[in-house]
Structure 1
Amino acid sequence: MSLPTLGVALPLDGLRLHRSWIIESQRDLEIQDFFWAEVLNGDWAPLAEGIRKELDGYQGRLGIHGPFWGFTIASLDPDVRALVSRRMDQGLDVCAALGATQMVIHSPYTTWDYNNLDYNPGARAKVVERTHDTLAAAVRRAEDMGVTLVIENIEDCDPADRVALARSFDSPAVRVSIDTGHAHYAHVSTGAPPVDFYVTAAGDMLHHVHLQDSDGYADRHWNPGEGSIVWPQVFRTLATLTSNPRLILEVRNKDLVRAGADHLIGLGLAV
């Protein structure tokens, strides 16, 4: 079995820095310039043009991190849900401009939800209902565009909740993402299962992974090897899937992202 090829999440400056490394292996790439409201509400065309220029010769799988700051996709406030729907549409505008085929969005499930959804009658179904209200138009548009929305775990304690939410859309345009550092935080600090269990729960609904390490106390976004995630077990579990998820290094220090890649490559887990 061939080893998976690592991808990377970068803003334009990081893309410029690591461009040759990305293009020589046609690594999966996630652009991270377009989750800020100030960018989406402004004239982002020159930024998109700058990214397109750097992608000359690139033939890998391209995605973006969609907007997420300041809201949940299952807000109780209908006015907020309308705003979030607009943000999703703006993110898809960026996908169209760049030719991206994937957009990362954030899970609505919180630690509070884990302890309270089943205590409050009907609350679990209401989260799904509100998420559908928020994302319905975006999902239809994503289907037409050939874009997949991947829902990333944030505080999720039960990895099955997000998978069930994605399945509820019954659409090829909605799948699941795992952030390894978020999962490890939830495992150590809130009693969630370990990272590989998140992979197992997602199964072939998993189309995207953020690879980052942590001590389990905070969302560190360290390079793999700097924290306490058991990477061989994570990759053994990933190897059981047929969905070929994009394995995206998402670390805080973009200048040193290749050190994290080198650690995983040195363990014989990826190339």
Structure 2
Amino acid sequence: MPDLPLLGAAMMTRDLAGMQDFILGENRDLEIQDFIEAELLDGDWKSVADQTRKLLDGHTGRLGIHGPFWGLNIANPDYDIRAVVTRRFLQGLEVCEYLGATQMVIHSPYTTWDYNNLDNFPARGAYDRVLENCHKTMGEVVHRAESIGVTMVIENIEDKDPDIRRILADSFNSRAMAVSIDTGHAHYAHGSTGAPPVDYYIRRAGNRLEHIHLQDADGYADRHWTIGEGTIRWHEVFRSLAELTSNPRLILELRDKAGILPAVAYLSNLGLAR
């Protein structure tokens, strides 16, 4: 059992109060998700962060946050909007530094439309424009992340191409950019748009994968069900994870936090994780 991978979880600070034994008992990886809202980032976010730190006293597991994402496309071509996006992510990194978090989840800019249309332009020009816009938006952010020891992990949202976020992360040539996979998002793309299955996303990310959101789904929508309630093939997911040496954070991201302990029990009973 101790050799099985150790599961972590994503939650708001208000949820953490009831999950301290679970998180601190084995120093599990944790992702705090309060700081996705612009209103909080522009307001008294330190009071929330102080409460987080108080609840995590003595925690030695890896800590991360989910960065802001509502309406924020890191490939936005409008320079005025890019400035707002850049500022939001710099605010997220300020939170990371204050908390001592070493990872921040950001969202992929790629859509299903992109998959069908980026090749509809000569000489990969559309691909290059997306990368150029991402670098204009995130260049300062990446430099700041490097200086405080934070890695930003790019999470698949609509991504049908399992390679495209790895290519984006690699284009920065920085330890501050890596890859994240959300199992439910990948399963949605597989079931609804004809993308590869979840384990293919993991294998194609390879050791650039440093974070994974574990949630179950039905291949139709972004369910965030507890593990075992959907149709993801978990044995193959964990077989593919076992091939990696990057030690990605295995973060249960469930809509109902009451499903965290049952999810751990389910995967433990299968002999896949603890």
Give the structure 1 partner of residue 144 of structure 2: 141
Question: CA shift at 1:2, angstroms?
Answer: 2.0
Cα deviation code 1:70-103 (max 9, x no counterpart): 1211012111111000000000010011000000
What CA distance in whole angstroms lies between the structure 2 residues aligned with 1:81 and 1:264? 41
How far, CA to CA, are the matches of 1:260 and 1:189 in structure 2?
25
The amino acid that maps onto 1:6 is: L
Unaligned runs of 5+ in 1: none
What is the 5 A alignment of 1:4-43? 4-43=5-44
Please give the alpha-carbon distance, in whole angstroms, between the structure 2 residues aligned to 1:266 and 1:18. Answer: 21
1:120 shift after superposition: 2.3
Aligned letter for 1:89?
L
CA distance in 2, matches of 1:35, 1:157: 24
2:208 aligned partner:
205
**TM-score, normalised on structure 2?**
0.98
Q: 2:267 aligns with which of 258, 261, 264?
A: 264
1:228 aligns with 231
The two structures have a TM-score, normalised by structure 1, of 0.99
1:3 aligned partner, one-letter code: L
**Equivalent residues, number:** 271
> Residues 156-235 of structure 1: matches in 2 within 5 Å?
156-235=159-238
Identity, in percent, stands at 62
Question: Hey, what's the Cα distance between the residues in 1 that align with 2:72 and 2:32?
Answer: 21
**Per-residue deviation, 1:255:** 2.5
CA distance in 2, matches of 1:32, 1:136: 24
Q: Name 2:63's counterpart in structure 1.
A: 62
Contact conserved, 1:103 with 1:147, CA < 8 A, in 2?
Answer: yes
Matched, 1:3 2:4: yes
- Equivalent residue number for residue 132 of structure 2: 129
Question: 1:81 maps to what in 2?
Answer: 82
Alignment partner, residue 154 of structure 2:
151
Shift, 1:19, TM fit: 0.7
Unaligned 5+ segments in structure 2 are none
**1:136-177 CA distances to partner (integer Å, 9 max, x unpaired)?**
011001111110000000000001011100000010110000
> What is the CA distance between 1:256 and its match in structure 2?
2.5
User: Is 1:115 aligned with 2:149?
Assistant: no
- 2:221 counterpart letter in structure 1: A
The superposition leaves residues 1-56 of structure 1 with CA deviations (integer Å, 9 ceiling, x where unpaired) of 92110000010111111111110110000000000111111111111110000001
Distance 2:141 2:175 in 1: 13
What SS is found at the alignment partner of 2:19? helix
Task: In structure 2, give the amino acid aligned to 1:191.
Answer: G
Residue deviations 1:214-237 (CA, integer Å, cap 9, x gap): 001100000110000000000000
Contact 1:63–1:103, Cα closer than 8 Å, also in 2: yes
Aligned residue in 1 for 2:257: 254
Distance 1:188 1:245 in 2: 25
